[in-house]
Structure 1
Amino acid sequence: MLENIILAIASLKANKMRALLTMLGIIIGITSVIAIVTIGNAVTASVNSNLSSFGTNNITISIREKSEKQRTMSLLGPVSGAAGGAPSGAGGPPGMRGSGNTSEPEDSDLISDKMIEQIKEAFPADIKGVSLESSVGSATAKDGDLYANITMTGTNADYLLANNLEILKGRYLSEKDVRNYRNVAIVSDKFVENMFPDGTDPLSQDVKIYKTNSIELYTIIGVYKYEQSSMGQVSTASEEDLSTNLYIPISTANLDASQKNYSRITVVASGDTDVLAFTTQLTTYFDNLYKNNSVWGARVNSMETQLNSILSVISTISLAIAFIAGISLLVGGIGVMNIMLVSVTERTREIGTRKALGAKNFHIQFQFVTEAVIISGIGGGIGIIIGTLVGTIVSVVLKAPVTISIPVTIISVLFSMAIGVFFGFYPANKAAKLDPIEALRYE
């Protein structure tokens, strides 16, 4: 074994350029596989981290127009009643609607406060809270020459459960704020920098909000940390012109709204609840609830379901690309076989001499297979180093965590060695079968 390894290394040293070109296919193949898997793991980890920040326990229920098939089923089947705990009476199930085209749902088609309370009663152990959100629109806070651009959003107390919002000062909205229609607001630290540049404590301070048709006065009760969403569009506005959210009680936000109910709510599942199973239960619940509405229905989606779907797609794409890159390993293996056949031809007299001195066929086979394995092994090692380096650099550039797959690395090494054995066997077998007399006569 040691002698064969020494002979193989000596042969590589004697033909350095040819050996490097022989390894090139193996190097490229292993580099591609390692780099792609590393980058794929980094992207997966980044997407997982970003989407998880939105809350994997969040289940979104939104009102959507039914498809033609769903409309037909609603019109044909008799209403058997909603699932256990389903709403009924005032503020309960949406009433029967015609099948005429309509662009917007009526208030009676939306989710009411009473329906939300009945959902909580139907699933008391599974629901931690229900987050409500209502967009008021863009506005500007002004105080003399000072100003701050804002987007006014009405929320409830449970909004904090469903969203990654860090409160730096004061408190968030309470149910009492919502119930009493208070003019209180939660502002961002960027808002504070613009409106209170002298360092004044913003808590309990009143700010004038200039809307399109009115001027409103709000008292600041809390300050949150502004963070640019990594999943959204990157803002190019300056610090002074940056628009941030200003949160107010949803009851206050809806005072002038034409619709008092909600087209979208977010149910926050309890920590020990199976989110996927609970999503299915809520889907059945709302299907029954909107069964007698021929136009509008509820769509139930969980962040965990979306996250799993996205990660599955990324993994499939990474695997497919890695497989395609692995084809170059096959090309590299053919290159190894070609060079070994050339080597057999060049060393015919050497083979004849060894066989004349008593070398058996398996000795010759083992010698050439060893050379092929060493070429593939060295090429694989170089490929792993380069692939890891490329994957790390790209992950750092993408600001994603670097994750090196040890199993893929080990498989790559073993695969490169297997290529050496597989594609080296034919040349080695050919060398072993040479007739020693004819080999010695070879010029």
Structure 2
Amino acid sequence: MFLKENMLLALESLRANKMRAFLTMLGIIIGIASVIAIISVGNSLSSSITSQLQGMGTNNFMLNIREKGSEFQGPKGRGKDGPSGSGGATAEDKDLITKEMVEAFQERFKDKVEAISLSESVGTGQAKDGRLYANVSVSGVNPGYMTVNSVEMTNGRFINDSDMAGRKSVTVVSDKLVKNIFGDSVNPVGKEVKFYGADGIKTYIVVGTYKYKESSMFSAASTSSEKDIQTSMYVPITLAKQDKTIKNYSNVTIMSKSDVNADDFKSSIESFFSKYYEKNAKWEPSVFSMSSQIEMASSMMSTVSIAIAVIAAISLLVGGIGVMNIMLVSVTERTREIGTRKALGAKNFHIRMQFITEAMIISLVGD
């Protein structure tokens, strides 16, 4: 009976001060909504980053070269003729990782290596068949690229050793490109695709198609239409290299077998390739693993989660302070009512519970 009476008194008080009650509830509503929005975005971002890194393979190791004395462990950016170091120096072809080095490593650790991926950017532009087009980026790759990067074939085949040896003008395209240029019902294998890039027009024969996968949670919103989405075309890396002055490789991705210890294998890669750079005064090999990147990302997202929790707590605190201020004003305005109730026998506890009940109703409705 006591609780019911307090609730009725609280509702009557809120009804008498509708605007004040609404503004107080609005503060609570905005605070709760901001907390939900911030936490949702933070969790989505964390899941997206982690899933993308895991999709790149937890047993992948990135091998590149860096300037000696540099602390940077990631892949190098490329200058005009090769990778650029932290000091702005550009590596020459003789400083890069050679095909012979890669083959020697694969032979030496064949019981631990699942595949090795080599890639070389050709350029971006448009793939056309008549008046129909699709935006593409062309990359030269080797057969191991498919395994390392989890390329899922839907038709035909991937780049093979015969394509590499003969420097054949063949390509593997995405199913999205096929839909935009040839149509859903057409088998594109054996058909010609013309690539219009900065170096002119190049013609390739399609030998296979792969399933296109969105690269991030924001990729769909970054283009105006599905037709404008840029997908990759893969060609033999030997074909991509034939017109370039740089014949060797600045970045190599090595995929280990699933039962191989990551730390031991990383040390093996570093020690094997370091012997080729013992007499090189400026450059040295550098290796980092995707598992370490995932751990780093997880640590970073944990920090972000803590920051989000602090922001959420501040939002709720602001809403709570708003309720407190309104209740203080309410107490000040209703001193006559409080005095009348005390004269009729009400105790401090009863009056306190009346205002607490009113504050609880405001907070619950705001939630």
In the superposition, the TM-score normalised over structure 1's length comes to 0.62
| 1:27-426 paired onto structure 2 within 5 Å | 27-66=29-68, 103-120=89-106, 127-138=113-124, 150-163=136-149, 165-193=151-179, 196=182, 200-207=186-193, 218-227=204-213, 229-230=215-216, 234-236=222-224, 239=227, 244-271=231-258, 277=263, 281=267, 285=271, 288=274, 290=277, 293-301=280-288, 302=290, 303-305=293-295, 307-308=297-298, 310-332=300-322, 334-335=324-325, 338-339=328-329, 341-342=331-332, 343=334, 346-354=337-345, 364-365=348-349, 367-384=350-367
Asked whether 1:7 is paired with 2:5, we answer yes
Contact in 2 for aligned 1:19/1:375 (Cα 8 Å): no
**Structure number with bigger Rg:** 1
In structure 1, distance between residues paired with 2:363 and 2:109: 56
Q: Following TM superposition, by how much is the alpha carbon of 1:331 offset from its aligned partner in structure 2, in angstroms?
A: 1.4
Question: CA contact under 8 A between 2:105 and 2:272: conserved in structure 1?
Answer: no
Counterpart residue type for residue 354 of structure 1: G
- Is residue 126–residue 278 contact of structure 1 (8 Å, CA) maintained in 2? no
1:23/1:336 contact within 8 Å kept: no
| Unpaired segments ≥5 residues, structure 2 | 73-84
In structure 1, the residue matched to 2:76 is none
CA distance in structure 2 between the aligned counterparts of 1:131 and 1:281, rounded to whole angstroms: 19
Could you tell me how far apart the structure 1 residues matched to 2:364 and 2:6 are?
Answer: 17
Q: How many residues align?
A: 343
Aligned partner of 2:360: which letter?
G
Give the partner amino acid of 1:326: L
- Indicate if the aligned counterparts of 2:61 and 2:266 stay in contact, CA closer than 8 A: no
What percentage of aligned pairs have identical amino acids?
A: 32
What residue is the counterpart of 1:421 in the other structure?
none
Aligned-partner Cα distance in 2 for 1:327–1:213: 60
Q: Provide the alpha-carbon RMSD of the alignment.
A: 4.2
Q: Is the 8 A contact 1:22 1:335 kept in 2?
A: no
Shift in alpha-carbon separation, 1:10–1:161, aligned structure 2, 3 A: same
SS of corresponding position for 2:235: strand
Could you give the per-residue CA deviations for residues 265-312 of structure 1, whole angstroms, max 9, x where no partner exists? Answer: 22334445676x468647864895556544224444434245325523
Q: Which residue is 1:431 aligned to?
A: none
Against the structure 1 CA distance between its residues 61 and 377, is the aligned structure 2 distance closer, same or farther, given a 3 Å change threshold?
farther
Rounded to whole Å, the distance in 1 between the matches of 2:71 and 2:177 is 49
- Per the alignment, do residues 52 and 58 of structure 1 end up closer, same or farther by CA in structure 2, a change over 3 Å counting? same
Following TM superposition, by how much is the alpha carbon of 1:316 offset from its aligned partner in structure 2, in angstroms? Answer: 4.0
Q: Which amino acid aligns with 2:344?
A: T
Taking a change above 3 Å as real, the CA distance of residues 199 and 258 of structure 1, as seen in their structure-2 partners, is same
SS of equivalent residue, structure 1 residue 131: strand
Structure 1: 5+ residue stretches without partners: 71-98, 385-443
Amino acid at match of 1:331: I
**Once the two structures are superposed, what CA deviation does each residue of 1:345-390 show, in whole Å capped at 9, x if it has no partner?**
63123224326xxx6xxxx42x345445434433443343xxxxxx
Q: What is the deviation of 1:148?
A: 5.8
Question: Counterpart of 1:394?
Answer: none
Whether the aligned pair in 2 keeps the contact of 1:283 and 1:299 (CA below 8 Å) is: no
Match of 2:77 in 1: none
Task: Return the TM-score normalized by structure 2.
Answer: 0.72
Q: Distance in 1 between matches of 2:181 and 2:296?
A: 39
Deviation at 1:15, TM superposition (A): 0.7
CA offsets, 1:124-181, max 9 Å, x none?
Answer: 6764322211112246666666666643211122222343544221122234543554
- Output the CA distance in 1 between the equivalents of 2:326 and 2:260: 56
Contact kept in structure 2, 1:109 and 1:296, CA below 8 Å: yes
Asked if 1 retains the 8 angstrom alpha-carbon contact of 2:141 and 2:235, the reply is yes
Q: Distance in 1 between matches of 2:137 and 2:32?
A: 50
Q: Contact between 2:31 and 2:315, CA under 8 Å: does it hold in 1?
A: yes
Distance 1:28 1:261, change over 3 A: same
* Whole-Å separation in 2 of the counterparts to 1:47 and 1:188: 23
2:344 is paired with a residue of what secondary structure?
helix
Once the 2 structures are TM-superposed, how far is the Cα of residue 52 of structure 1 from its aligned partner? 4.1
